[in-house]
Structure 1
């Protein structure tokens, strides 16, 4: 099975690209469009966002494979070496982060949805940056429901 056959989305003839280019381009903005040709191999037309998402997922998968090949330490320790920003997280959060990232990568790769892993990676990385900036250490003052006050509109 070819990669083009595995991609979701429409299949269009190359003549459609010249006759109805705006329509074909609009179709390719979300799922990729496979463009078949009589004189050559089929091509895939996709948005730059889609291509960059796939490239980021492959890069992330490469890092995870490298982590799994290392046998020194726990998953969280190995992941912290590959992703040093994880060191800003607590030990418990590092363990949760490591498992969440592996799970998200597996889901992304098995469903061909790069955004799942990239969103999880971004979320954890931003959380680590917030913790490193001291945003997670402030004591919060909770208001009782009875004491809650409504602010007036300006």
Structure 2
């Protein structure tokens, strides 16, 4: 989750007087709004909040699987929540599990989970490619060197 403390703190009265300015600042990062009659509030973009929540959810699944005392391999425990792992070849399943744990731990250390979401999405995309029949020895003709085009300025 994003750091709850922000670079900017405003009083609730400033939010009332200069709401446009406070909202523009919240577009750049979370704002702490202090109040005389209650706990401070955090004002942030909903997408940022949603991504932080999603990242924490993915991290909690990974941590639960990693800490499970089960003798089942980690990638099989992760596949209970991330079924797409089963489309990866065995070697990639192990690498995926190890990378997800490593990235989750690093993200937890800095309280920012965007990198974990990107890593999980990358592995999922790889699994989807395998599910569609891609194999490492499959020839990808669409990645061949393109033929050079004539320079339109000289044509």
**TM-score, with normalisation over the residues of structure 2?**
0.82
In structure 2, the residue matched to 1:58 is 56
Q: 1:62 to 1:143 in 2, by over 3 A?
A: closer
- Which ranges of structure 2 fall in alignment gaps of 5 or more residues? none
Larger relative contact order (Cα-Cα within 8 Å, sequence gap ≥ 6): 2
Q: 1:130 to 1:33 in 2, by over 3 A?
A: same
Equivalent residues in 2 for 1:115-126 (5 A)? 115-126=114-125
Question: Is the 8 Å Cα contact of residues 72 and 78 (structure 1) preserved in structure 2?
Answer: no
Provide the secondary structure at the position in 2 that maps to 1:41: strand
- Which ranges of structure 1 fall in alignment gaps of 5 or more residues? none
Aligned residues: 147
Equivalent residues in 2 for 1:18-57 (5 A)? 18-57=16-55
Question: Is the 8 Å Cα contact of residues 10 and 31 (structure 2) preserved in structure 1?
Answer: yes
**TM-score, with normalisation over the residues of structure 1?**
0.82
Once the two structures are superposed, residues 72-111 of structure 1 have per-residue CA deviations (whole angstroms, 9 ceiling, x without a partner) of: 2222222223311001111111111111111221122211
Once the two structures are superposed, residues 48-88 of structure 1 have per-residue CA deviations (whole angstroms, 9 ceiling, x without a partner) of: 11111121122112212321224222222222233110011
Question: Is the 8 Å Cα contact of residues 70 and 78 (structure 1) preserved in structure 2?
Answer: no
1:139 aligns with 2:139: yes
Measured on the aligned residues, the alpha-carbon RMSD in Å equals 2.4
Provide the secondary structure at the position in 1 that maps to 2:91: helix
Question: Is the 8 Å Cα contact of residues 107 and 116 (structure 1) preserved in structure 2?
Answer: no
